[in-house]
Amino acid sequence: MIDFLHLYCFMYITLFLHEFGHAFMCFIFKKNIKHIKIGDIVILKISKYKLGLLPLNGYVAFSYYELKKHQQLCIYLIGPIITFILLIVFINEEFIKYNNIIILQLVSQLFLSFFGDNSDIKNALNNKTN
């Protein structure tokens, strides 16, 4: 049971760091964040923040108007960059028991960042937000 909780926490942490990257860049560029969702099947909603039961996806909704193209690219691309860095760390280190599951989650997160219906890369290229 403890192993499952550790794995669950690591999955949430990696998803949180990906979404935190988007939110942090919005903060840097002084953009108002409409809301942040981390996880599916929302079980907790506090102000702008939604926390889901399953650590599978998330998003940061913001107004991209009045942002320069390079600022939009920075906001959208920082999440996949953080995920890629985490992937390299987890591939090179065996510090948790179920390392392969975390790696699989990070790879799927990267895949969805590039090829998902509302992917970070598609949004960056099309100037769209959630």
What are the tens digits of pLDDT across the range 38-64? 988 889 999 999 999 988 888 898 887
Pick the residue with more confidence: 122 or 9? 9
CB 36 within 8 A of CB 50: yes
Q: How would residue 120 be classed by pLDDT, with cut points 50, 70 and 90?
A: confident
CB 9 within 8 A of CB 24: no
**Section 32-43 average pLDDT:** 90
Residues 6+ apart with CB under 8 A from 96: 6, 7, 10, 102
The mean-pLDDT minimum among 50-54, 74-78, 110-114 falls in 110-114
Whole-structure pTM value: 0.85
CB 41 within 8 A of CB 52: yes
Strand partners, 62: 33
